[in-house]
Amino acid sequence: MDAVQALGKAVIDISKIGADTMVFSAHKIYGPKGCGALYTKDQNHGYSICAEEIDDIAITGFGKAIEISESNLDNHIRHLKSLKSRLIDGLLKIDAGLSVIGEQEGSHPAIVCFNFPTRDGDGLVIQYDFEGICVSSGSACSSGAISASHVLLAIGMDPVMASRCVRFSMGLPTTTDEIDQLIETTERILKG
């Protein structure tokens, strides 16, 4: 199971998840890039993981990042949920027919996807980029793809509607001022 977005942003109770394996990435919790972890339920699973070199420094850094992340997890989740709520409220107030994709109850505290009914998602990504704001028109695993997000299509969204979506992600360093700037920039893009 891909759990890279959950680490440091959600309580991970492996006993309730039921996954035999989970993968994590250090950079998602501000640890060293290029370092990850694989959890396996059964130590006799038969997988073999090979590396030419083991980067002890990166592994130690990942461990420290986990320690810091876990010690502040409740505050991190509260902060991210607050930013997400502010973003949702602000974007929905723009008179442009925007809608949030998916149920928000129990959703990821730092990721939200919006449908822009009259705008192409890829075009919006370019406009945000010109403003110095990084967003995506699909899932993180399909960044750079030209077609609509396979995730949105899998939940039954019409391909045209799926191509008009933008995904916003927040991190721990994200501030309320940056969220307000994003809302203002969105309004200017849509009305300009």
The residues annotated with a catalytic role in the active site are 141
Q: What are phi and psi of 156, to 5 degrees?
A: 95, 15
Residue type, 4: V
Query: Which residues fall within 8 angstroms of residue 55, CB to CB, at 6 or more apart?
Result: 32, 34, 35
Q: Which residue in the block uniquely carries the two structure tokens 């972890």?
A: 37
Packed helices 73-93 and 176-191: angle between N→C axes, nearest 10 degrees: 20
**DSSP assignment letter at 113:** E
